Amino acid sequence: MSILEVKNITKSFGSTEVLKGISFTLEKGEVLAIIGSSGSGKTTLLRCMNYLEVPDGGSITVNGQPYFDSNEKRLSESEIRQRRLHFGLVFQSFNLFPQYTVLQNLVLAARLLQRSELKAELKEKKINKLVFREKRTKIMNDTEQNARALLERVGLSSKADFYPCQLSGGQQQRAAIARALSLTPDILCFDEPTSALDPELTGEVLNVIRSLKSGDTTMIVVTHEMEFARNVADRIIFMANGVIEESGTSEELFNNPKSELLKNFLGKANQFSK
Amino acid sequence: MSFTEVTLELLSGFAVTCQLFILTLIFAIPLGLLVSFGTMSKFSPVKYFFKVIVWIVRGVPLMLQIFIVFYVPGFFGITFLDRFPSALVAFVINYACYFSEIYRAGIEAVPHGQTEAGLVLGMTRRQIFTHVTLQQVIKRIIPPMGNEIITLVKDTALARVISVIEITKKAEFFADKAIIWPLFYTAVFYLVFVGVLTLLFGYLEKKQSYYKI
Ligand SMILES: Nc1ncnc2c1ncn2[C@@H]1O[C@H](COP(=O)(O)OP(=O)(O)OP(=O)(O)O)[C@@H](O)[C@H]1O
Ligand SMILES: [Mg+2]
């Protein structure tokens, strides 16, 4: 069973049709790169998968479970919140919380989530005050340990107590990646993770993403870094004007592009990198 | 009249000034937040209702508003609020509206990406407000709130138009008896008060300066 099945997703803003029926599947541990020119709907697609936008039509299935279905009744906020935990999202502009240290950025959401579950248990009298306190301490310790392990993975152990404004762009983005992993999403999405970075800093971020791949993380990466897409992605989707114009392995797309649009796009990208 | 006697008299007026100042803040700071939520409401009747209120309150002289609160209920046969409570009500409404605009600017200045980051991490809207947005709003509004609060110190003198006997009114009593200098002496009280507030806000600003937004 595929970890992700996207079927015929459509989305319009006013009279602009941005996604005109997007379908694809993703297997566990696979890395999917999405390429395409500006305005083709890549960001919108990622936002739909994270419930930051609600598609007009189509369905999304995660692990065989319904995630989004346009025929389903509107979900409540808390149902959406539950479901979107299947996905993580790394933004182009990092969006770290500036008032917190890197470590605090990583533990915040996990603690809030686990503590509110614990509070619910206390309220329903499933546990008593004493157990509650013990478990709360355990949450504090576990989340910190988990966060430190994640920082180790992205090579930021020494920056745990730094504030975002004290980090370089590349370090901020690596921290944001670690934060996105803190709730162990099934699928991690990246929206042009290196576009806001100076060229000399893109490498460190791409290397982190590459290392996640060997750790078996399922990922969807929207990127303009053609070399990266070619080397790291198991599969590539080329989007144009709200449709998947072409998809396949990197071999197929880069060495043997079929559609004129893709040939054009790759030609321009090549020119640009030279 | 000796200097000490005058000082004591003025101090008793200054106590009223301070009361009016503190009570206004206690009520106007939270009320302003409610008003700002009103002006940012997605439900447009609510939004425009609050926007019109803010427009009126900011557009009419505070002195006139004090008169209105004090005299207008009487026209309708409702018992007068006393002088001090009338002044307080006028100040609270007026300052809540000014504060609401500061809050609104502060809240809207927080990049939407912060909220989205919270949402994607499974946080509730309320959690995002209290744990992510609020502190950034506070950092942004400390300087303009400092300005507004310092203006309030001096605006309290307007309460004398309905004979609330605050420090300036006290000094006017002396002036009526052809002793003018206490009127100028009141400046010292205001200056000291504003000086303390300036230090306080400088401290608050510094406390939030450990991070950049
Ligand atoms: N909230 C919105 N309201 C209206 N139009 C929008 C909105 N978001 C996106 N669009 C439009 O949808 C189209 C696709 O935008 P999208 O951001 O998904 O493209 P993209 O492929 O990510 O482009 P880029 O490579 O520049 O990031 C654009 O024409 C954009 O103007
Ligand atoms: Mg985009």
Determine the Cα–Cα distance for residues B113 and A191; give it in Å rounded to an integer: 13
Query: Of all residues in chain B, what percent carry a pLDDT higher than 90?
Result: 94
Phi/psi at B124 (5° precision)? -80, 160
Judgement on whether residues A13 and A144 belong to the same structural domain of the protein: no
Number of separate domains in chain A: 2
The closest of A242, A273, A247 to A259, measured between CA atoms, is A247
CA A117 vs. chain centroid, Å, equals 24
Taking the model in full, what pTM does it have? 0.90
Judgement on whether residues A65 and A128 belong to the same structural domain of the protein: no
Judgement on whether residues A192 and A84 belong to the same structural domain of the protein: yes
CB nearest A95 (choices: B114, B127, B212): B114
Domains of chain B: 3-207 (1.10.3720.10)
Q: Which ligand is nearest to the CA of A239?
A: 1
Q: Does B122 touch chain A (CB under 8 A)?
A: yes
What's the per-residue H, E or C state across A83-126? HHCCEEEECCCCCCCCCCCHHHHHHHHHHHHHHHHHHHHHHCCC
Look at residues A117, A146, A162 and tell me which one is the last residue of a structural domain.
A162
Judgement on whether residues A155 and A196 belong to the same structural domain of the protein: no
CA A266 vs. chain centroid, Å, equals 25
CATH code at position A32: 3.40.50.300
Contact B136 A89 (CB under 8 A): no
Residue B152 structure tokens: 């309030």
Q: Does A92 touch chain B (CB under 8 A)?
A: no
Judgement on whether residues A228 and A107 belong to the same structural domain of the protein: no
Q: Identify whether A181 is part of a domain.
A: no
Q: Identify whether A155 is part of a domain.
A: yes
Q: Identify whether A171 is part of a domain.
A: no
Judgement on whether residues A85 and A212 belong to the same structural domain of the protein: yes
Q: Does A190 touch chain B (CB under 8 A)?
A: no
Neighbours of A116 (CB within 10 A): 12
Within chain A, how many helices (H) and strands (E) appear?
A: 9, 10
Residue A10 structure tokens: 């459509």
**DSSP assignment of A237-268, as one string?**
EEEETTEEEEEE-HIIIIIS--SHHHHHHHHH
Judgement on whether residues A29 and A142 belong to the same structural domain of the protein: no
Pocket test for ligand 1, best of A22, A37, A42, A91 (most atoms within 8 A of CB): A42
ipTM for the predicted complex comes to 0.93
Determine the Cα–Cα distance for residues B60 and B56; give it in Å rounded to an integer: 6
CB nearest B113 (choices: A91, A113, A182): A91
Determine the Cα–Cα distance for residues B93 and A201; give it in Å rounded to an integer: 52
CB nearest B212 (choices: A84, A97, A98): A98
Domain limits for position A150: 100-162
B34-91 confidence digits (pLDDT tens): 999 999 999 999 999 999 999 999 999 999 999 999 999 888 887 778 999 999 999 9
- Rounded to the nearest angstrom, the distance between the alpha carbon of A230 and the centre of ligand 2 is 19
Contact A213, A234 (CB under 8 A): no
B120-151 confidence digits (pLDDT tens): 999 999 999 999 999 999 999 999 999 999 99
Q: Identify whether A179 is part of a domain.
A: no
A169 lines ligand 1 (CB under 6 A): no
Judgement on whether residues A112 and A12 belong to the same structural domain of the protein: no
SS3 A221: strand
Q: Identify whether A173 is part of a domain.
A: no
Look at residues A129, A162, A195 and tell me which one is the last residue of a structural domain.
A162
A135-172 confidence digits (pLDDT tens): 999 999 999 999 999 999 999 999 999 999 999 999 99
Contact A95 B139 (CB under 8 A): no
Contact A229, A223 (CB under 8 A): yes
Judgement on whether residues A86 and A194 belong to the same structural domain of the protein: yes
Q: What burial letters (b/e) apply to B85-115, b meaning 16+ CB within 10 Å?
A: ebbbbbbbbbbbbbbbbbbbebbeebeeebb
Determine the Cα–Cα distance for residues A164 and B112; give it in Å rounded to an integer: 17
Judgement on whether residues A195 and A88 belong to the same structural domain of the protein: yes
Average confidence score pLDDT of chain A: 94
Contact B122 A96 (CB under 8 A): no
Judgement on whether residues A199 and A89 belong to the same structural domain of the protein: yes
Residue A105 structure tokens: 């950025």
